[in-house]
Amino acid sequence: MTLHTLPPQTPPPGARLVRKLIRTDGSEKELQRATPMDVIRRLIVADSLDMVRLRHWGEPLHVMLVDDLGGYKDLPINPEATKLYHANCIPGVVHPIRGDVVIVPDDDFATPDNESLL
């Protein structure tokens, strides 16, 4: 099965598209365009990804891609990513995000025809 990415969409007025890598040391690197999942996995050195929807950012919806095994691998805590995660969790969640993360618009991974996946 081949997944296609759509070209970046124009955000609503006042909104902007964010594509960036956030390292555990707090450094950030802007990503210039939509990035395929296999490249994101290499950027954050992850075999398996999990996704956090950043609903508190509003539209367009952005997602934070994290190493699904970051805790198991005992990766360093990512303070900035943890803040973003906690902003979207129910009160009382204390789990940190471990390892580097990538934030991208959710639409970067939309398919031209979602039914073609069925």
Tokens read off for 51: 């996704």
Q: What is the pLDDT of residue 3?
A: 37
What is the SS3 assignment for 11?
A: coil
For the segment 68-95, the average pLDDT, to the nearest whole number, is: 93
Q: What is the pLDDT of residue 111?
A: 60
- Residue-wise pLDDT tens digits, 48-61: 999 999 998 888 89
Q: Is 68 exposed, middle or buried (0-12, 13-18, 19+ CB in 10 A)?
A: middle
Q: How confident is the model at residue 16 (pLDDT cuts 50, 70, 90)?
A: confident
Neighbouring CB atoms inside 10 A of 65's CB total 23
- Decide: pTM greater than 0.75: yes
Q: Is the dihedral of CA 44, 49, 52, 54 positive or negative?
A: positive
- 114 contacts: CB under 8 Å, gap ≥ 6: none
- What average pLDDT does the structure give for the chain? 84
Q: What is the pLDDT of residue 47?
A: 94
Q: What is the pLDDT of residue 90?
A: 85
